Amino acid sequence: MTERQPVYRYLHGGVSVPVSADPDEICNEARTRMKRKGLDSRSLHFRLYKRSVDARKRDDVRFVCTVLIESPAPIPKSVQLRAKLRELQEDMPASVHGTEPIGAPPLIVGMGPAGLFAALLLAENGYRPIIIDRGDSVWERVRAVDRFRAEGVLDTESNVQFGAGGAGTFSDGKLVTRIHDPYCRFVLESFRRFGAPEEILTLAKPHIGTDVLRTVVSKMLERIEALGGKPIYRCRMDDFTERTDGTISVSTTRGEILCGALLLGIGHSARDTYRTLLGKQFAIEPKPMSVGVRVEHLQSEIDRALYGSFAGHPNLGHAEYALSDTKGERGVYTFCMCPGGEVVAAASEAGGLVVNGMSNHARDGRNANAAVAVSLSCADYEAVEGSRVLGAIELQRAIERAAFTAGGSDYFAPVMTLGDFLSGKRGSEPTKVQPSYRGGKVRVADFGAIFPASVSASLRYAFASFGRKLEGFDASDAILTAAETRTSAPLRILRSPETMTAVGHDRIYPCGEGAGYAGGITSAGVDGLRAAEALMKRFGGPDENGCNGH
């Protein structure tokens, strides 16, 4: 057998090209640059790695690209500096197995990104995990969400927040992250392996789209099951007991489950689970969160504002924005911008109204929408039962209940035109921009009854600021829908940095967004991988311990 030759990989960034350039032209530009720096490019292989849009000049919108350069021999450091190359740091999750007996299969609670990637890594290493979620399988969950959208019948166990795939399944499938963990690429490659489009590997702001992500999640769960894992739906964890032999007995709505380790990928809306953990004296601290509204504009106007005459260019797609202002009393920022998307009904508790944004892969809807969120600090939370953690949750709930009441107490959403909100008026009906929430099931309302005065004041300040940064953002006919409250978990479950286990709980691994360690699909997936990796480094798999896994 021929021994495989090593390949050395480097990244070269800042390759600016017209938006008409294709990947071959981008790579040729990088090749030309390397020749100018004295590198013999004949032995090098060039491939597009990342591509972003530079729209700072609307009359000259360009792509700025990073190109991957593969070399059969290491490039000297002096040449790397001269050619502005950096070595590519991408790691695969380790497959190191410990020797400690695990006693029973690992149990993963939650089928969001953290739980899915943890289950996938464990399954691929022979641990045969059990993975449960209080919600339905993907397609049953779609039916529950569609019924809520059409009829206003909320299933509190299976909805936009709960079920296979987690909350991200009913968003835009955005994979943008601010973390620089080398496992990020593994998450992207895994999504592509299970059916996501190839472009997520090269776009600077990759997204899968709600419609495609559903199939991707289904295929991931099928793979986990094929490897001996056991997904169980409609299975809510209600309690657990840490036994003296090291195993954990978990009480669920589907009966008792004995596990050798418990991985908590519970998501940011598992409020009853948070209360259970607090009752068991877990170390949990409040953390800052954000609340606000969804704003809708015509996507065509956002495209023109950002791309000028380049709007509609087939290589560009729809324009995206990310705005922030920290000069006011509170920081305000846009979050989860969905080009060509819709505002979705994201409630998970009866009597509360929550909105989120989503779009399909094509992003072909009429409106653009995004959260405009006001930052809250822990000082904003009034303690409930002596706990600021419960106080943070109660603040979310109070806003959601107020939004529910303002909308008519039937899951119609309260809306305002931006013109009314900024001027202090009320009662104007939508005109050019029509609300997309539940196909228009909205009622004009007064947001003063929904948000604390400081939040409303910060939103008004921010819209004026953002209007100066992006033409038309503060247009009077833009539509606001309330309330966006689930931008992140308002707490963090403390854990050991070395073992990733909860403080004082030897075999329990909190991870992902719901545990306070991630802020989106990619970072949650990475955190789930890290938790599974820590578990494997300690324990031998069920097969190695004579445990049949079920």
Collapsed DSSP state (helix, strand, coil) of residue 149:
helix
User: Does one domain contain both 73 and 116?
Assistant: no
User: Does one domain contain both 248 and 384?
Assistant: no
12, 15, 21, 23 alpha-carbon torsion, rounded to 10°: 10
User: Does one domain contain both 165 and 261?
Assistant: yes
Report yes or no on 338 lying in a domain: yes
Report yes or no on 96 lying in a domain: no
Helix (H) or strand (E) holding 426: none
Residue 116 lies in domain: 106-285+493-545
User: Does one domain contain both 336 and 435?
Assistant: yes
| Domain end marker among 484, 513, 534 | 484
User: Does one domain contain both 459 and 354?
Assistant: yes
Report yes or no on 100 lying in a domain: no
Helix intervals (H) in 283-329: 299-307
The CATH code of the domain that includes 53 is 3.30.70.2700
Report yes or no on 98 lying in a domain: no
pTM of the model: 0.94
User: Does one domain contain both 473 and 525?
Assistant: no
- How many domains in the chain? 3
| Domain end marker among 433, 459, 484 | 484
Q: How far apart are CA 357 and CA 295, in angstroms?
A: 10
| Domain end marker among 29, 60, 87 | 87
* Residues linked to residue 285 through DSSP beta bridges, in sequence order: 492
User: Does one domain contain both 259 and 319?
Assistant: no
User: Does one domain contain both 246 and 312?
Assistant: no
Report yes or no on 99 lying in a domain: no
Report yes or no on 142 lying in a domain: yes
Report yes or no on 1 lying in a domain: no
User: Does one domain contain both 318 and 384?
Assistant: yes
Question: How confident is the prediction along the chain (550 residues), in pLDDT tens digits per residue?
Answer: 455 678 999 999 999 999 999 999 999 999 999 999 988 888 999 999 999 999 999 999 999 999 999 999 999 999 999 999 999 988 888 888 999 999 999 999 999 999 999 999 999 999 999 999 999 999 999 999 999 999 999 999 999 999 999 998 888 788 988 888 999 999 999 999 999 999 999 999 999 999 999 999 999 999 999 999 999 999 999 999 999 999 999 999 999 999 999 999 999 999 999 999 999 999 999 999 999 999 999 999 999 999 999 999 999 999 999 999 999 889 999 999 999 999 999 999 999 999 999 999 999 999 999 999 999 999 999 999 999 999 999 999 999 999 999 999 999 999 999 999 999 999 999 999 999 999 999 999 999 999 999 999 999 999 999 999 999 999 999 999 999 999 999 999 999 999 999 999 999 999 999 999 999 999 999 999 999 999 999 999 765 554 544 4
The CATH code of the domain that includes 185 is 3.50.50.60
Residue 206's nearest CA partner among 198, 214, 194, 216 is 198
Q: How far apart are CA 427 and CA 90, in angstroms?
A: 54
Question: How do beta strands 332-345 and 324-325 pair?
Answer: antiparallel
User: Does one domain contain both 18 and 48?
Assistant: yes
Q: Which residue's entry shows tokens 């190109």?
A: 67
Report yes or no on 304 lying in a domain: yes
User: Does one domain contain both 280 and 304?
Assistant: no
User: Does one domain contain both 503 and 472?
Assistant: no
